[in-house]
Structure 1
Amino acid sequence: MDKTIWDCLEKQTEGGTLLTSCGAELQELMRQIDIMVRNKKMEWESELIASQDSLAVRDQELSRARAVLDQKQQEIGVLKDQLESYESGQSSLASQYELQLNNLKSQLRNLKV
């Protein structure tokens, strides 16, 4: 605050004079109020800065967590592909074994006959 409350009050009164009987007390009270307002403003500004810093840290943590999550999702995709490939290979292998088994059974029947 560049102007004090007292300065504003003086401008609003005629000729810049207040009641002289309590003018000094009023001026001191206004000075104390100005100090309290200035201190409260500084306190709020420091709280705001601390909150902004905390928010920035949390944003960084969130970004890191998202990056880790993306990486894990990619790993899951790769593992799913590997599992599908493995299962497909196992299924193909089982089919080949069944075919060989059927051929052997057929040959065994032919030998018995």
Structure 2
Amino acid sequence: MNGSVYVLNKGVNKSIEFKGLKAQYIWFLGAGLVALLVVFALLYILGINAYLCIAMILSAGAILTANIYKMSRQYGQYGMMKQLAKKALPTAIKNNSRQVFFLLED
């Protein structure tokens, strides 16, 4: 016998991917679809025509899916979080006093 009897998991550090969606975008799409289901139920309960509700939800779902796939391709696994973190950084630090430099010890 050559080799180990144990099967190795070769995808330990790989990100989750489902039909082209990577990592957190799977959750975004799922949450968006659940939200669309709730909106459909509310519109139907309010008495809006069922065919109009279906048309609105299908078009909103298509737009949602297209945008999520676009973000997944554009930003990748961690890119969107990096972009949001980059926007949170200040462009400049202003100090109107020299007092902070006098408090530094040599």
The TM-score with structure 2 as length reference comes to 0.32
Q: Please tell me whether Structure 1 or Structure 2 has the larger radius of gyration of its CA atoms.
A: 1
Larger relative contact order (Cα-Cα within 8 Å, sequence gap ≥ 6): 2
Question: Going by fraction, where is helix more abundant, 1 or 2?
Answer: 1
